[in-house]
Chain A
Amino acid sequence: DAGVIQSPRHEVTEMGQEVTLRCKPISGHDYLFWYRQTMMRGLELLIYFNNNVPIDDSGMPEDRFSAKMPNASFSTLKIQPSEPRDSAVYFCASSWGQVNTEAFFGQGTRLTVV
């Protein structure tokens, strides 16, 4: 398996535009997590799914953020409209079996909102 695959690797967008980040988890993993990393706040959990169902979205900062997992092999994180303070590295991770087992992270998407 190629691991967790995220796209794009880098995204630069103007304030107010819609941004969609994509993630393909490791095949067979039933948990998928979206994290955001900044220098100030570190790695923050935004939302996680179990068997494609959102379980906890309490980390999603605002209604401008939404995430979907239409099937076991694909998830999106959407920001609409984007703001400069959304600039960060967004990571997707997947795991198998339990929420607290080893998580496998993608390479991340570096988002810059200007």
Chain B
Amino acid sequence: SQKIEQNSEALNIQEGKTATLTCNYTNYSPAYLQWYRQDPGRGPVFLLLIRENEKEKRKERLKVTFDTTLKQSLFHITASQPADSATYLCALEMYSGGGADGLTFGKGTHLIIQP
């Protein structure tokens, strides 16, 4: 079956360092992959979308890579700040025989940036 895996353990990073989060998927070849941020008590907020023909995408201090051979996306936050502390979710569309099934999310990785 199709599966999205993110590190369920919290990731503790010292302020100023680069945080790297991993999203692995199996049994699927998505055309797009997205990253969202979720703060406690709030809905997920879109950060970046990367297409299968894009190896890397950047937005300010954020960088996403997409390796379709490894079936993996890496999400980097450079010069991390305590305000970056949140849960980060990766998402991709799933397809079944009937067509697109909508965005499917990983369980997310909780990132803690320590001052």
Q: Which A residues are within 8 Å of any B CB, using their own CB?
A: 4, 33, 35, 41-43, 45, 48, 55-56, 58, 91, 93, 99-108
Contacts and interface: CB of A to CB of B under 8 A. Distances in A.
18 contacts: A35-B105, A42-B107, A43-B89, A43-B107, A43-B108, A45-B105, A56-B98, A56-B102, A58-B101, A99-B103, A100-B93, A100-B103, A102-B34, A103-B44, A105-B43, A106-B43, A108-B41, A108-B42
A99 B89 contact: no
A99 B32 CA distance: 11
B100 A99 contact: yes
Given A105-B45, A106-B43, A107-B42, A43 B102 contact: no
Given A100-B34, A105-B44, 12 more contacts: A35-B105, A43-B107, A43-B108, A45-B102, A55-B100, A91-B43, A100-B100, A102-B49, A103-B34, A104-B46, A107-B42, A108-B41
A104 to B, nearest CB: 7
A102 B105 contact: no
Of the candidates B41, B43, B45, the one having the most CB atoms from chain A within 10 angstroms of its own CB is: B43
Contact of A103 (B46, B92, B99): B46
Nearest to B48: A102
Nearest to A95: B103
A99 B105 CA distance: 14
Residue among B100, B101, B102 facing the most chain A CB atoms (10 A cut-off): B102
Interface string B4-41: 00000000000000000000000000011010000001
A45 B43 contact: no
Interface residues of B, number: 26
Contacts of B92: 100
A100 B89 contact: no
Nearest to B104: A45
A43 to B, nearest CB: 4
A83 to B, nearest CB: 23
B88 to A, nearest CB: 12
A31 to B, nearest CB: 8
Contacts of B41: 107-108
Contacts of B46: 102-104
